[in-house]
Structure 1
Amino acid sequence: MSDVTTADPSPERSDGALARAARLGDEQAFRVIIDRHGPGMYRYALRLVGGSEHDASEVTQEAFISAWRGLGRFRGESALPTWLFSLVHRRSVDLVRTRRPVPIDDEMLATQVPPAQDNPLQDVVDGELLEALQQALDELPWNQRAAWLLREVEGMTYEEIAATLSTTPGSVRGHLHRGRRTLAERMARWR
């Protein structure tokens, strides 16, 4: 049997190869998984927990701990990022259930709207738009908000979102449809 820890954990390795190596105890392969998927998982957690960097870090760290411990149960039936995002989702749900909702931080949403170029009026309009979007997202039911964030921000497919949220692609379509309709109504003045 070859020594797994000597395998090349380079970023070019597939998620499947990294997961198999990590399952066999290759910590370097798991570090590549963290480097590759950690930023997206953190962004998703940050939005789900209402913008608290501390809570998002805690949720992401707990998800990675669960992933390390649960790699033996990961069979590759879904993509590795889908499985990792589902761990973040479950940890976020647990955290939010025990806490009051907190609004999303404006700076977090600033990446969704490009900054104005030396135009004070446009800066004001952009700020108001972000505030309106934050409020509209905060008012969405949990599953609609999660589905919207995974689709629109993280670019996941309906199937990946369904696996992440432990639901069906049809339910995801419904959550997205209702969430988009609600956001469109609330953001109508910005069209």
Structure 2
Amino acid sequence: MGGFHSDAELVSRALAGSDAAFSRLVERHQAAVRGFLRRALRGGWAEADDVAQDAFLAAWRSLRSLRDPAGVRAWLCGIAWRKAQDRIRASRRGAARDGAWLEAVAPPAGVSHEDRLSMAAAMTDLPPDVRACVALCLADGWSHGEASVALGLPLGTVKSHVARGRTRLLKALGGTDDA
């Protein structure tokens, strides 16, 4: 399938039966989905990839339920979030998962190892829905509206979760939320 196609065009082709079109959608959005899942699950690459695979299979099966073909990224992340919630409910992992998460997260430039550990611990302490909002909006640069759609949460809830998460992370780093 040569050339550039919009998400909406690829969705249309996939609905017409093109496995290649759906594969192209997955290729286009898998990094965003997997990155979000690594942060939301506090797990390593393997767990995020496992949940992402489940999400992509579910997306293929339910492609006809996609109301806005141009919004496929948020729709895929929404499915991934529901799969992640299932995983979180199914099993609470302990220190081993937190250690793997710390190893998988690249520290931002100029952040000390101690600050990185404090930030990771603060992320770990956040409730799953707050952590998901922080992961999308602060770490991945999504708008509050995009996160609202992907996570199926009201816009005001996303905004308050991001604000609460930012405050907790800043406190963990010894800073204040004066910005």
- Which TM-score band (shorter chain)? 0.7 to 0.9
Deviations 1:37-79 (A, max 9, x none): 0111111112222223222111100110011111111121771
Q: Structure 1 residue runs of 4+, over 6 Å off?
A: none
Number of equivalenced pairs? 173
SS of the equivalent of 1:188 reads coil
1:188 aligns with 2:178: no
The match for 2:72 is 80
SS of the equivalent of 1:63 reads helix
- Could you list the runs of 5+ residues in structure 1 that have no partner in the other structure? 1-7, 117-124
Larger radius of gyration: 1
1:109 aligns with 2:95: no
Q: CA deviation at 1:147?
A: 0.3
- Could you list the runs of 5+ residues in structure 2 that have no partner in the other structure? none
* Structure 2 Cα separation of the partners of residues 170 and 190 of structure 1: 23
Q: CA deviation at 1:154?
A: 1.9
Higher relative contact order (CA 8 A, sep 6+): 2
Q: 1:155 to 1:9 in 2, by over 3 A?
A: farther
1:134 aligns with 2:120: yes
Instruction: Output the TM-score relative to the length of structure 1.
Output: 0.83
Deviations 1:67-107 (A, max 9, x none): 11111111217711000000110000000111114316223
The match for 1:120 is none
SS of the equivalent of 2:141 reads coil
Equivalent runs, 1:7-156 vs 2, <5 Å: 8=1, 10=3, 12-76=4-68, 79-101=71-93, 102-103=97-98, 105-110=101-106, 112-114=107-109, 126-156=112-142
CA RMSD of aligned residues (A): 2.1
